[in-house]
Amino acid sequence: MQTTTPNLSYPIGHPTLPAQPLPAEERVILIKQIADLPAQLTAAARNVGGERLLLPYRPGGWTGRQVIHHLADSHINSYTRFRLALTEDRPTICPYDEAAWATLPDVDATPITVSLALLEALHTRWTNLLWHLTEEQWQRRFFHPGSQRDFTLDQALALYAWHGQHHLAHLNLLLKQGE
């Protein structure tokens, strides 16, 4: 019998972006995932424990601490991209070097509770925005120069709902390592 090794980099698989506008029911599910993420991360961090959060979830991967701070960094950028797309015509967003940001000194110097609180406040603002978008607004676009493509806000919603679950799965890998 052959066993398969789970993909530690992508434990929930790669994201799939919708080619067509999302049905309203699917948007509701994705917005709820974004709304629920801060509480899920806080619970996962508590379950993993402070010492284990200093360890990488896979060989060569980020530590749990870096994952939590990365989510705050990434989701701040995503929230800003949504607001730019809603107020400008197909803006070109500013990409950033995620790996470099994960090694900046504030990542080690800042308690994860700060990023967890930031995510709670940010996701409250973000989901309040998302609940009020019109069908037309969901199809607004921004251009990502790193991937050389446009993203609709529907696609960005799907991507960032996946992104939160992707990194939550990384924290759960740390929890399983400790069992």
The domain ranges of the chain are: 24-177
| Measured distance CA(131)–CA(44) in Å, rounded | 26
- Measured on CA atoms in the order 90, 25, 135, 132, is the torsion positive or negative? negative
Give pLDDT < 70 ranges for the chain.
Answer: 1-6
| Measured distance CA(164)–CA(34) in Å, rounded | 7
Query: What is the second-level CATH architecture of the domain 24-177?
Result: Up-down Bundle (1.20)
| Measured distance CA(23)–CA(144) in Å, rounded | 24
Q: What is the pLDDT of residues 126-159, one digit of tens each?
A: 999 999 999 999 999 999 999 999 999 999 999 9
**pLDDT, position 50:** 87
Cα–Cα distance list, 162 to 2, 49, 84, 166 (Å): 29, 24, 21, 6
Q: Provide the CA 119 distance to its chain's centre, in angstroms.
A: 10
| Measured distance CA(152)–CA(100) in Å, rounded | 27
Q: What is the pLDDT of residues 79-95, one digit of tens each?
A: 999 999 999 999 999 99
| Measured distance CA(165)–CA(135) in Å, rounded | 25
Asked if 34 and 160 count as a contact pair (C-beta separation under 8 A), the reply is: yes
Averaged pLDDT score across all residues of the chain: 95
Biggest CA-to-CA distance, the chain: 56
Phi, psi of 130, rounded to the nearest 5 degrees: -60, -40
Q: Provide the CA 12 distance to its chain's centre, in angstroms.
A: 13
Residue type, 166: H
